[in-house]
Amino acid sequence: MFLLKTWRSTAFGIYGYMNFTKNGFLEHSKKFKPEDMQIQIEGKNCVVTGANSGIGYAAAEGLASRGANVYMVCRNKERGQEALTKIQSSTGNQNVYLEVCDLSSVNEIKSFATSFASKDVPVHVLVNNAGLLENKRTITPEGFGPRLSVIFLESTHLDFISLCSFVYIRFELNFAVNVLGTYTMTKLMLPLLEKASPDAKVITVSSGGMYTSPLTTDLQFSGENFDGVLQYARNKRIQVALTEKWAEKFKNKGIGFYSMHPGWAETPGVAKSLPSFNESFSGKLRTSEEGADTIVWLALQPKEKLVSGSFYFDRAEATKHLTLAGTSKSHDLIDSVIDTVHSMAALDP
């Protein structure tokens, strides 16, 4: 196991240095077709999570500049409003709106989804961009878990303390945002995505870090020595496997599902979460716009040019597994992961 982990990290480092940096983007961009980005999408509704800074901001701006109605889902109202104003000013598109929602909270996502559904607008593009890499174990204050009333009615012989210990659920923060939040948002947006069929797309921003980890059912990192970077990699692997599963499950709903990797970009999130990496690669990292390029590209392309369930990098399908990394078979666990996450989110069957 040690040798396999070492190989994964080594292979990832070499592959990443050759492809994920600014130089990698510049090299890959030689094959880009300029006309792909000249498509206008006036009147299409695009929801972008984590849109107030970094790659999310660049994606929202890129979509707004092409005429889309953009709904920026941000945790902080003030920063979100500031970002919205900047995008309206830079693009001249006034159809940019702020939606305040903390993606670490299932309850807030449910409230947002209910409120947004009342607008009765089709969602043509959902960009699951909001992400987090928290190095220290942090637990969300999320409340009671699913089926509390059923458990209470059927288990009245249990004392109150035992009952609470059984049903009270709090979530590890990285998982709450990257997996539980992404899953809940996507599931609750499905009715509005179906309204945009056959043009609807879900684009989930994953990370090359997922190359270092197989899929695991240890969703909240049960080990004592918490490793935020590893947890982030695990979360991002789940996103890729989820995209595969969604593409298969909803192939007849007129919705395309795509995951993508932005490369190594210089963003506020990277500077905060990976300061040593950010400093070591100073001058070699991509801009936020370069990181968001494939998000915008995916949103603009006709669906017949894309492959639902695929993982994209620099406007092309990319491998989901590095050679000899032993990660591909782990995707067989995705049904178990989905069952657990769905229960945590307390969603209807």
CA separation, residue 27 to residues 30, 172, 227, 237, 290 (Å): 6, 38, 33, 26, 12
Which residue among 57, 232, 258, 312 is the active-site one? 232
CA 136, chain centre distance (Å):
20
Q: What count of residues does the chain have?
A: 349
- What six digits make up the tokens of 71? 């709904």
- To which residue do tokens 């959902």 refer? 126
User: Letter for the amino acid at 77?
Assistant: K
Task: Report, in angstroms and rounded to the nearest whole number, the Rg of the chain calculated over CA atoms.
Answer: 20
Q: Is 168 annotated as catalytic?
A: no
d(CA 116, CA 114) in angstroms, rounded, equals 6
Angle at 312 between CA 132 and CA 133, to 5 degrees: 10
d(CA 110, CA 115) in angstroms, rounded, equals 9
- Name the residues annotated as catalytic: 232
